[in-house]
Amino acid sequence: MTTRVLVVAGGALVACMLAIGLADDLHRRIPLFIALNGAAFVAYLIAVRAVLRSPSASRSALLAIAVVAVAARIALLPARPELSTDSYRYVWEGRVVLDGGNPFATPPADSSLTRLRDDDFDLINHRPLTTIYPPLAQALFALGVWIAPNVVALKSIFTVFDLGVVLVLIALLRARGRPATHALLYAWSPLVVVETAHSGHLDAAGAFFLVLGVTLLAAGRRMWGGAALGASFLVKYLAAAMVPLLLKRGYRVALPVLAATAAAGFLPFLDAGDGITRTLVTYGSEWSFNGPPFMALSVLLSEESRARFALMMLGAIIVLAAAVRERDVTRYAFIVIGAALLLSPTVYPWYLVWIVPFLCVYPNRAWLAFTGLIGFSYWVWVVYEATGAWMLPNWVLALEYVPFYGPYDAQELVESFSD
């Protein structure tokens, strides 16, 4: 029975992804995207319910999960990214690295790089700013451009990492005595599929190394786990939240390996000086989007900088408390990644790619709902086209966050962190 449900739900999911991939000018057809993404999410929830109710993982169910996971991603790979322009920035930076330049030192707008511009140059975001993406991300950008100077090559690389997450999750689930079919919660997540195979975001690569590091640490392979976490940090800095746990006895051997891996990655770019952190500081001190706790605190404290500081301190308290209390590295990762997302002033949909792998182990209803509802945040394109302002109306924020912070889901969220 479970396999039949998976076949029907999986077929609907793939059909929705194919329709999204075939839609032109998707950022100008946001209601269509929301409808298709919503239909895909309903199919996903039906499949999630089926696998969570099944006490075991049959071969036929695993085969159905694998086939649909691959087919859904293939359906989106040829499409031009329309919901985000980040992948065009990736291609540009890969081109700069292959040309011998340093993206931490020279922004796209610099006249010395004019010879590298192509027809997609106008699609590159934040052109006056140097890169925010760490060294391993730069290496992946360069690899994609070396294969082919277009977004499809890079999307394909990130999709390989994306599917790699599924394989690591199966190993993690089996080690914890859970059915391997629970990997469906990541493998079929419409958010993960769209943000990786369609929009080409690098987050799946960072999540791969994070989940690999957690799995290795849990298996007692501390040094390899530290190296994997260092690689995750070099894709996107979120893995730094794992450091407090590594200060505990039993994990300490992983910390110098993580530090050495991270330091080695930055060596080729040190000539950029403070350019290595310049845009990261700008991001942390100035950018905000779709973060209600930050918005509420900014009003309450009458100043955005105070709100950022308060959220940073609260986040630090949560991370340190979790490090003191938690012995389970997987639960620790779930808690600190979740806290980082909830307290961030900026919450784009692709940021949630980092939390979805842990929902396979902790299938929290609040987080599952949020991965679907955050698709409404793309309504920002409708507002932008009409007014030129990059902001969300209050009704969109309510659709996203009221179910998440609702009485039942809030209680479940707290209980999942306190069990």
Q: Which of 21-25, 109-113, 247-251, 356-360 has the lowest mean pLDDT?
A: 247-251
Q: Which residues pair with 346 in a beta bridge?
A: 289
Two tokens at 130? 């140097």
**High-pLDDT (> 90) share of the chain, %:** 89
Q: For residue range 114-131, what is the model confidence (pLDDT) as tens digits? A: 999 999 999 999 999 999
CB 45 within 8 A of CB 36: no
Assign 382 a pLDDT band (cuts: 50, 70, 90): very high
Two tokens at 263? 């330091």
Assign 412 a pLDDT band (cuts: 50, 70, 90): low
State the pLDDT at residue 57: 72
State the pLDDT at residue 237: 96
* Residue 314, CA atoms < 13 Å, CB-side half-sphere: 17
DSSP string, 29-61: -HHHHHHHHHHHHHHHHHHHHHHHH-SS--HHH
Report d(CA 236, CA 329) in Å as an integer: 19
Q: For residue range 59-86, what is the model confidence (pLDDT) as tens digits? A: 899 999 999 999 999 999 999 999 999 9
Please state the pTM of the whole predicted model: 0.95
Cα–Cα distances in Å, from 37 out to 11, 12, 16, 142, 417? Answer: 14, 11, 7, 31, 29
Greatest mean pLDDT among 205-209, 248-252, 407-411 lies in 205-209
Mean pLDDT value of segment 247-268: 94
Buried b / exposed e over 315-325, threshold 16 CB at 10 Å, is beebbeebbee
Assign 407 a pLDDT band (cuts: 50, 70, 90): low
Q: For residue range 278-334, what is the model confidence (pLDDT) as tens digits? A: 999 999 999 999 999 999 999 999 999 999 999 999 999 999 999 999 989 999 999
What mean pLDDT is reported for the chain? 94
Percentage helix, strand, coil, to 5, in the chain?
75, 0, 25
CB 13 within 8 A of CB 43: yes
* Residue 49, CA atoms < 13 Å, CB-side half-sphere: 9
Q: For residue range 229-242, what is the model confidence (pLDDT) as tens digits? A: 999 999 999 999 99
pLDDT over 80 at 411, yes or no: no
State the pLDDT at residue 417: 47
List own/partner pairs for 376-384 with CB under 8 A and 24 or more apart. Answer: 376/34, 376/400, 377/289, 377/290, 377/347, 377/348, 377/349, 378/27, 378/30, 378/33, 378/34, 378/83, 378/349, 379/30, 379/34, 380/289, 381/27, 381/28, 381/30, 381/83, 382/30, 382/31
Q: DSSP state, 132? A: -
pLDDT over 70 at 410, yes or no: no
Two tokens at 334? 């779930």
- In sequence order, the 6+-apart residues with CB closer than 8 A to the CB of 69 are 163, 166, 187, 188
Nearest by Cα to 214 from 224, 201, 203: 224
- Containing 80, the helix (H) or strand (E) segment is none
Nearest by Cα to 97 from 144, 59, 162, 61: 144
Q: For residue range 149-171, what is the model confidence (pLDDT) as tens digits? A: 899 999 999 999 999 999 999 99
* Residue 162, CA atoms < 13 Å, CB-side half-sphere: 35
State the pLDDT at residue 1: 56
pLDDT over 50 at 271, yes or no: yes
